[in-house]
Amino acid sequence: MSDWLMSVPAFIVSIGLLVAIHEYGHFWVARRLGVKVLRYSIGFGRRVWGFTGRQSGIEYWLSAIPLGGYVKMLDEREGEVAEADKPYAFNRQHPWRRIAIVAAGPGVNFLFAIVAYWLVFMIGVAGIKPMIASAPDGTLANAAGLRAGDEIVAIDDRAIGDWQDLRLTLIERGLDGQAVDLSVRGDDGMARDVSLDLRGVPADPEKLFDRLGLAPYQPPATPLIARVVPGSAAEAAQLQAGDEVLAVNGESVDSPQGLVDRIKAQPGERVTLAIARDGRRQEVPVTLAAAENEAGEPVGRLGAQIGVDGEAWEAMRTTRQLGPLAAVPAAVSKTWEVSALTVRLMARMVTGDVSWRNVSGPIQIANYAGQTASIGVEAFVGFLALVSVSLAVLNLLPIPVLDGGHLLYYSIEWIRGRPLSEAVQVAGQQMGMVALLMLMTLAFYNDILRLLG
């Protein structure tokens, strides 16, 4: 419940802000190009609060459904327009003007992402060093000779600052399907070059990293119970937050991942955890729950959030901070990289190379919003930048009812010298609505599956 007390307000602030910025792009350009604006609304449906501009006569609304917004412009297709106002109607404008008005929404979202990343780089981007854990046998990292504790300094001469850099770069290179050269520094301080063959690897990010066998290095540290999930096996065994887990069935564990792996390997079984509580060692029997992973295989479930003493991770932390000028090109580059990667992954979803389970809806976005807000300002601002890019890219898809669909129609009209027939436009709108409804249904379905674990 406490998680949602943070997630819901963070979600409302995030979506409200990004939608307001998107719609303001349409609003600002429309007014600059002489189109009469009737209403600027954040949200859909019934008006909850609002006012009317004294001089402009524009209605400013906050509406009941906070999952979008709109700018209503004077348009002869939506009602009668006085003869004196017809030159200011949207439908009377040259196609290039309509294209500019429609493109302004996604454009402002990209601009917001640049500004947000600029702020993040100036505040300082916290992360963990790109050091890797031991790669399992049969994985590409193991075959390449990568070892536990290796820090990946660069990929194809591109500097890698933290694990997020490493992850995004490998996803991008994985889509290219080529071998990459890694500059690696071992735990002994010695530098060496390693070739990692990415030909034929899965395009899906999760499957990619399973195939590579790459995971963050975990320094030896006793795992502990950070939180117990109500109704779980951990609660039934009376485990408590703060308990240090020393061993499972008499075999010691020295990292959170080691504990997780041991739990997953014993679905539905009764195990004995050796824990330390208040400085005293105890033996606690636990009957693990059983669940299925994405491959449909049974895995054990304890029902607890596993953590570790923060001091053990101190040496793994890193911060990238730039000055105001240096942060500008870095922010532009970051926005471009995230945008390009988003487009490529969406294209691979269409071809079936990337699972549609990667599509997230408002529930998952709210969850991420709450998590990043609880971490700190830089994490939350970075989250806003990422969602802003996603919103821009989604709206530019050539689907009628989205900005990209309108851009397609107006571009065709400009080239042909006349608009498409009304029947064609209506059919396109109907297909666009169906496609959008299917996408929203899929997003909610994925969110519910994640909630159910």
Distance, CA of 111 to CA of 384 (rounded, Å): 12
Question: Exposed/middle/buried for 387, CB within 10 Å: 0-12, 13-18, 19+?
Answer: buried
H-only helix segments in 187-323: 205-212, 233-236, 256-264
CA angle 146, 305, 161 (to 5 degrees): 35
Residues 20 and 365: their CA atoms lie apart, in Å, by: 17
CA distance 161 to 165: 6
How many CB atoms are located within 10 Å of the residue 13 CB? 14
Specify the residue for token string 């030159």.
Answer: 87
| Torsion over CA: 293, 297, 302, 308 (sign) | negative
- DSSP letter, residue 418: S
Contact 196, 179 (CB under 8 A): yes
Q: What CA–CA distances, in Å, run from 283 to 60, 251, 300?
A: 63, 13, 19
What stretches of 262-421 adopt beta strand conformation (E)? 270-277, 280-287, 289-292, 298-301, 304-308, 317-320
Dihedral, CA atoms, 327, 329, 335, 339, nearest 10 degrees? Answer: -160
Phi first, then psi: what are they for 60, rounded to 5°? -110, 115
- d(CA 428, CA 274) in angstroms, rounded, equals 63
The reply to whether 23 belongs to the active site is yes
Calpha distance 311→82 (Å, rounded): 71
The token pair at 381 is 């601002």
Contacts of residue 418, defined as CB under 8 A and 6 or more positions apart, other chains included, come to none
Any idea of the CA torsion for 141, 143, 147, 153, to the nearest 10 degrees? Answer: -50
Query: Is the separation of the CB atoms in 370 and 7 below 8 Å?
Result: yes
Q: Do 232 and 304 meet the contact criterion of CB atoms below 8 Å apart?
A: yes
Which residues have a catalytic role annotated? 23
